[in-house]
Structure 1
């Protein structure tokens, strides 16, 4: 059914795997659409109560696929992409399941936004997390602004977004961006144990609490997604973005001019 992700349901537990391991699960336009479709399908799966989101291969997700952004053969239409990115973020936030982000390797850019949209974030000690859109002259999308602010507040969210700092697992935990750190190679096992613990809890009451807390924020989330889409389309047309992309591809230090 899907070509870039896998969605498996085992009774009350579902697993969604980002499955482009050859590119560290970088998200191209196909994966963004498939994630949006998968999350929207799970919104009607009341029998599924826990969802684990994980990455195949060496990483959770390296973020948006920059190579696809500059590929003249298959250019990504930013306006269409932003519709799917907004769809996936809203559907993720509205899911009637407890969502667990199971992070190993890297969770960067849009991959980090998806992780931050989950209810619980588990990460391996040697993982690297980064809201690193700024490096190519872009802003966070996938509700990155909203999810970061919800976790750590506006002042710290601004600092993290503006710096694009790559955070080792322990630093991310210290800043409140990760709920539980586990040793290298053990996040899959830890996520499974947590999922089973949740399924043996009075989870209907827990899900009711999630629904109440999230319902208050839907209008704000939709506003953030609208603004992110408008501003990301604008940023894609800036000289700084072109410089950021070309310097990334050429593996050199960018020279930004604020235009």
Structure 2
């Protein structure tokens, strides 16, 4: 049914795998649309109580395709694609199930925003976690501002977004961005242990508590997604964004001028 993701239902849980390993699971328009469609449909499946989100291949997700962006692919940041990102994030936030993100390798940009939106985040020690939009003159999207704020508070979230620093599993755990830092190669096994505990617990009560908390903050998330979309469209037109792309492709430090 899907080309860029894989969906496996196993009794009460579902595993959704980002499945563009040859492209380091970069989130192109097709993947974003397929994820939105997938989560919208999973919401209606009352047999499922737990979702695992993971990536195939060497990484969880390297985020957006910067090379395609530098090549002038306007589809990567457009009103249509930002609306699809909004659908994806809200559908995921509304899922009546516990969500567990399993990160290995890189989780960057939009991929990192999606990982942070999970109820539980497990990352391997050598993972490279980065809200690195600032490096190419953009702002976080996919609810990145909202989920960073939920995890670390508004002041720290603001500073971390500005810095765009790459973190390993230990550093991310110390900051409260993830919930488990595990040895390399053990993320899936660690996830199985966490999942087993949830499935052996009164999970209906847990899901009910999740719904209460998410319903109380959903309007804020929707507002943030709208603001991110508008801001991203503005940033796409700046000279600093153009310089960030050139510097990335040229493997050099960018020279930003604030315009």
1:237–1:191 distance in 2 versus 1, CA, 3 Å: same
Q: Does 1:40 align with 2:44?
A: no
Corresponding residue SS for 2:222: helix
Over aligned residues, Cα RMSD in angstroms?
Answer: 1.2
Whether contact under 8 Å (2:75, 2:81) holds in the other structure is no
Whether contact under 8 Å (2:77, 2:232) holds in the other structure is no
Residue 14 of structure 1: aligned partner:
14
Whether contact under 8 Å (1:68, 1:75) holds in the other structure is no
Query: 2-side partners of 1:153 and 1:128: how far apart?
Result: 21
Structure 1 residues 1-259: aligned runs within 5 Å: 1-72=1-72, 75-76=75-76, 78-259=78-259
Whether contact under 8 Å (2:32, 2:88) holds in the other structure is yes
1:89 Cα deviation after fit:
1.1
Query: 2-side partners of 1:3 and 1:21: how far apart?
Result: 12
How many residues are matched? 259
**Ranges in structure 1 where 5+ consecutive residues have no aligned partner:** none
**Ranges in structure 2 where 5+ consecutive residues have no aligned partner:** none
Whether contact under 8 Å (1:89, 1:114) holds in the other structure is yes
1:232–1:74 distance in 2 versus 1, CA, 3 Å: closer
1:234–1:47 distance in 2 versus 1, CA, 3 Å: same
Residue by residue over 1:81-104, the C-alpha shift from the partner in whole angstroms, topping out at 9 and shown as x without a partner, is 111111111111111110000000
1:163 Cα deviation after fit:
0.2
Residue by residue over 1:20-65, the C-alpha shift from the partner in whole angstroms, topping out at 9 and shown as x without a partner, is 1112111111111111111111111121100000000111111111
Corresponding residue SS for 1:122: strand
Query: 1-side partners of 2:123 and 2:219: how far apart?
Result: 30
TM-score scaled by structure 2?
0.97
Query: 1-side partners of 2:142 and 2:75: how far apart?
Result: 20
1:223–1:75 distance in 2 versus 1, CA, 3 Å: closer
